[in-house]
Structure 1
């Protein structure tokens, strides 16, 4: 009796399209190699146009050293992004093995794809409505935004924000932490006096040895932090793997904070799981067999429970 009622309630069509779900995919830590093997890139939303004509900030960060790059730019065109990649990343730190970005046309275009093909760099795109995949860059974007706001808040003209970007980068690279990003890049301390009596060759060996030790420490710390984050994240949700053929609903993530859509269905569908890809993303198809364009992260999906039972009424 209880199970019949429970199944009937859980399979309510309207409830499934409105209710929240506790299900979410387990956290899959990104595999980190060495310095500038993997970089994330993003563009900060439009800001007031500066006197130099800049309106956006393009940001990149190395996933290993956490070394940031940022530049004020006048537009978010593919040519501007390509120039930033070559001048700030490739020409200074070498060709990265992997670039991670969202699906914005600033990054997802023929020019960027051509550059990645030329240098044999893998370009990974995050799934829609899943900024956490490139979270380290998104967080730094917020840091830049907050820092700029504090720096220009008492200024008569906030249209000179692009003058402060390099100062923010310096502050970030030298902030107190276990191993500074700047130490991993140049292996020295800011304002540290050089010992003129030290033999150059010995100094070189010392630098190389310390850098190797620091890099190994960073690898260990990254792995430890990833495991801690994974445990905390996984403990908050229910991981239920989806299979090919499962019927699912897709969350309309853009309606979460839309006050005018409070009475709309939060979940749409039905869809079938067509293919299970890596990194917790899925390929879907409509009930008529037509494939859904793009891929969907598992956290935006929930299994649809079909109503097989009619309500059971007992008459005494």
Structure 2
């Protein structure tokens, strides 16, 4: 069995008088021992908990395919693990190999994304001022409850996504979705962009939007990027549905909440951070934080209420 990469560093930090290679002494300058756990110092002084081979495999599995897993590519997996305060020397290599070996990712292929440069052209200066709405479907096979569609909305600023399964799509469904999943959660937006589907451009939907002071914008084939962000989000959602329910294709309506959770806690290419953090001001506590007791969770547990309040208000 290969020796744990942390062993020599831990031994030297516990007893600096022992005889070790000069390389270990130099490396040890960037590490600190807290109790029995080894931490690496980041450039800005942040500590990253160092993992061995067994723990690192668990961490990758949780991030990639766990309950909050988004089946991300290797580089994004590494980004998430680093944001969770975790480290081992071969992170990027291991994450890439783990993602490439994922059976579901291989089966359903890579998700095509709208290039980030195209998404920069449409952005609102504030969160939740502009949303794009689109419809996925019909989905084959339908869910076991006969859902055939997914109605999806994305906020232009934070990239936060809301979505619900639907059996049929009526004008009332669109109105209820805007009221229940956008307005009552995030406030009245300035604009909502849709394609030119009749259910979106109907008189009832237009009257409802007018009563709320919302400007409806219908994208056209000549200005497709107007709704490009939600279409890109749709591709991700569809890909996640396929990967999460590959063995039970009619249960996708039951896992939609988990899929949204995974999407909201995955970094987006345009913002370089997660929708969750842009909305709430901090990263969500995920199963990996609990299982591995990341520095993230330790910091939150030790932070006094007043200090946490000051931290959040300063970020905002």
Structure 1 unmatched runs, 5+: 1-25, 213-316
Show the counterpart of 2:39: none
Number of residue pairs matched by the alignment: 184
Of residues 245, 249, 252 in structure 2, which corresponds to 1:161?
Answer: 252
Deviations 1:228-280 (A, max 9, x none): xxxxxxxxxxxxxxxxxxxxxxxxxxxxxxxxxxxxxxxxxxxxxxxxxxxxx
TM-score, L = length of structure 1? 0.54
How far apart are residue 135 of structure 1 and its match?
0.4
TM-score between both structures, scaled by the size of structure 2: 0.54
- Aligned equivalents of 1:145, 1:27: Cα separation in 2: 19
More helix by share: 2
Q: How many Å separate the matches in 2 of 1:142 and 1:163?
A: 19
Indicate whether 1:148 and 2:253 are aligned.
no
**Quick check: 1:46 aligned with 2:151?**
no
Q: What SS class does the counterpart of residue 157 from structure 2 fall into?
A: coil
Cross-structure match for 1:170: 261
Structure 1 runs, 4 residues or longer, greater than 4 Å off:
194-197
Q: Give matches, 1:53-202, under 5 Å.
A: 53-128=146-221, 130-155=223-248, 158-176=249-267, 178-191=272-285, 192-193=296-297, 195=300, 198-202=303-307
* 1:33 matches 2:138: no
Cα pair distance change 1:162/1:195, threshold 3 Å: closer
User: How many Å separate the matches in 1 of 2:120 and 2:263?
Assistant: 27
Assess, with a 3 A threshold, how the Cα gap between structure 1 residues 28 and 209 changes in structure 2: closer, same or farther: closer
Higher RCO (C-alpha 8 Å, min separation 6): 1
CA contact 2:119–2:225 (8 Å) conserved in 1: no
Gaps (5+ residues) in structure 2?
1-117, 286-295
Alignment CA distance shift 1:52-1:28 (3 Å): closer
Contact in 2 for aligned 1:103/1:128 (Cα 8 Å): no
Q: Contact between 1:97 and 1:121, CA under 8 Å: does it hold in 2? A: yes
8 Å contact 2:132–2:192 — kept in the other structure?
yes
Distance across 2 between alignment mates of 1:28 and 1:162: 32
The answer to whether the 8 A contact 1:131-1:138 is kept is: no
SS in 2 for 1:107: helix
SS in 2 for 1:99: strand
Is the Cα–Cα contact under 8 Å of residues 174 and 180 in structure 1 kept in the other structure? Answer: yes
Give 1 or 2 for the bigger CA radius of gyration.
1
Give the Cα–Cα distance (whole angstroms) in 1 for the partners of residues 237 and 207 of structure 2: 30
Offset at residue 149 of structure 1 (A): 1.8
- Alpha-carbon shift at residue 54 of structure 1 (Å): 1.2
Q: Any idea what the Cα deviations from partners look like across 1:62-120, whole Å, max 9, x if unmatched? A: 00000011110111111111111111000000000100001101110112111211111
1:34-79 Cα distance to aligned partner (Å, 9 max, x none): 0000000000021122222311000000000000111101111111
After superposition, the CA RMSD in angstroms is: 2.3
Residues 28 and 199 of structure 1: CA distance in aligned 2, closer, same or farther (over 3 Å): closer
**Would you say the 8 A contact 1:60–1:69 is kept in 2?**
yes
